[in-house]
Amino acid sequence: MTSQPIPDMWNQQFIDDPYPAYRQLLAHDGPIYHEGVWLYAHYTDVQAALRHAGLGTTQLDVDAELVAQYGLEPIINARRHMMLFTNPPDHTRLRGLVSRAFTPRAVDRMRGTIEQLVMQLVDDIDAGNIDLISRFAYPLPVTVIATMLGVPTDDLDRFRRWSQPIAAFIAGSTDTESDVWLRASDAAKEMAEYFVVESRRRRDNPGEDLLTALSQAEEGDDQLSTDELVANAILLLVAGHETTTNLIGNGMLALLQHPHQLAHLRQHPALLGNAVEELLRYDSPVQYTERVALHDLTIGDHRIAAGATVQLFLGAANRDPQRYPDPDTLDVQRTDVRHLAFAHGAHFCLGAPLARLEARIAIGALLDRLPQLALADEPLAWRSNFALRGLRRLPLAIGQQQ
C-alpha cells in the first residue's frame, strides 16, 4: 500500500506554507481515511461535506472537574451557545434570530463609517516602514464590528483586549493551551457582564445598533436567552476580527508579491470586487474546519461511521486543479471564482457581506493612496495557527502618500 500524505498540521513549517502538503492531498484520488479521521481536500468533496445534514459541528469534550477547578465556565458556556458550534434545531433558531439583527441593510449602513475609518488609518501612516497588521489590518475590523454593536468609542480598547484571547481560543491556538483558555475565560466573563448590562439598558433605551436589535430579537415566543445573546454577540465580535485582518494582510501580501496583478488592479479599480474574491481563494484566511458524523452516513462512495471526525481543508479545496485552472496562479481577472473561503451550507459565514465590504474599501484605499507601497526587506512570520492563516507582521515600505 502506498503511504498516505497526512499533513502534520501542528508543525510550523506546514503552517508557514501549507500548499505543498495540499498538492499532495489533492494528488490523492478522493478523501483519505486515517486512524478514525477522514481528510477532505477536493473542492467537490469539501462542498458536499459542508452541505451534508448528517455532519455536525463539534462540541468540546471537557472534563467538568477541570472546568470548575480552573474557572473556565464563562468561555465554555459562551462557546456552547454560539451558533457556530450548534446543530439544528438550535442552530436554525439562533441563526434566524441573529440574522434579523445582522442584516445586509445594517451592513450597508456601515459603508460611510468604514470609509472614514480607513481614510483616518491611512492618514496616520507616515512615510517610512510600518507594520500593516498592527497599524491598519487589525484595528479596522474590530473597530467596525464594535461600532456596529454599539460599543462606545471609550470602551473600544477594552474590547480589543478581550477579543484577542477569545478569538485565539475559538480558533484553537497552538500556544500553551491552558494559558489561552484561562485568558479567554477571564475575557469572556468580563465581556458577558458588559453585554448583560448594556443589553438591559438597550431594552429601556433602544438605539440603532446591533445590540439593541439582538435584545429585541424574538421569533414568536422564541426569544434569545441571555446566555445566547451574550454568546452570539461575542461570536460576532471575534469571528470577524482576526479573519478580516488576515484577508487584508494575506491579500496585500499576495498583491505585492505579484506586481503585474497589482498594477493591473490599480489601472482597473472596477476589478476590486473580483480581486477580493480571488484573494480569498488564493490564500484563504480560514484554511480549515471540521465536522463530526452525527450518525452513519454515506458521501459519494464513502461510508462514514457515526462519531468519525471529518477534517475539511478549505484552503486546499480553493486550490483544487479539478475546479480551478492554474490554481496556484493569482489572477484578479479569474472568472467563476466561487471559493469555499466562507464555507458553504448551514454555517456559511454570516459576516461575509461585511468582510467583503471592509476588504474592498481597505485594499482599494491602500492601492489608491499609497502608490509607492512595497514589501520591506524583512522576513515574514506567520501566526502559529493552522485554521486561521495570517501574518504576525506585514512590514511595508510606504513612500509618499497621495
Residues near ligand HEM (CB under 6 A): 83-84, 95, 145, 235-236, 239-240, 243-244, 247, 285-286, 289, 341-343, 347, 349-351, 354-355
Tell me the closest approach of the beta carbon of residue 115 to ligand HEM, in angstroms. Answer: 17
Of 5 and 291, the one with the shorter C-beta distance to ligand HEM is: 291
Work out the burial of residue 248: count CB atoms within 10 Å of its CB; fewer than 13 is exposed, 13-18 middle, 19 or more buried: buried
Q: What are phi and psi of 88, to 5 degrees?
A: -55, 145
Work out the burial of residue 322: count CB atoms within 10 Å of its CB; fewer than 13 is exposed, 13-18 middle, 19 or more buried: exposed
Of 138 and 398, the one with the shorter C-beta distance to ligand HEM is: 138
Of 212 and 243, the one with the shorter C-beta distance to ligand HEM is: 243
Q: Which residue is it, cell 501542528?
A: 10
Tell me the closest approach of the beta carbon of residue 242 to ligand HEM, in angstroms. Answer: 9
Tell me the closest approach of the beta carbon of residue 140 to ligand HEM, in angstroms. Answer: 11
Tell me the closest approach of the beta carbon of residue 314 to ligand HEM, in angstroms. Answer: 6
Tell me the closest approach of the beta carbon of residue 29 to ligand HEM, in angstroms. Answer: 25
Is 67 in contact with 76 (CB distance < 8 Å)? yes
Of 21 and 276, the one with the shorter C-beta distance to ligand HEM is: 276
Tell me the closest approach of the beta carbon of residue 397 to ligand HEM, in angstroms. Answer: 26
Of 15 and 286, the one with the shorter C-beta distance to ligand HEM is: 286
| Angle, vertex CA 246, rays to CA 261 and CA 397, nearest 5 | 60
- The cell for 181 is 483558555
Of 97 and 122, the one with the shorter C-beta distance to ligand HEM is: 97
d(CA 252, CA 255): 5
Listed residue (300, 278, 304) closest to 291, CA to CA: 304
Tell me the closest approach of the beta carbon of residue 69 to ligand HEM, in angstroms. Answer: 29
Tell me the closest approach of the beta carbon of residue 71 to ligand HEM, in angstroms. Answer: 26
* Residue closest to ligand HEM, measured at CB: 351
Of 339 and 398, the one with the shorter C-beta distance to ligand HEM is: 339
Assign 310 to helix, strand or coil.
strand
| DSSP secondary structure, 243-297, as one string | HHHHHHHHHHHHHHH-HHHHHHHHH-GGGHHHHHHHHHHHT-SB-EEEEEESS-E
Q: Classify residue 155 by its DSSP letter.
A: G
Element (H, E) at 176: none
- The cell for 373 is 507601497
Of 74 and 351, the one with the shorter C-beta distance to ligand HEM is: 351
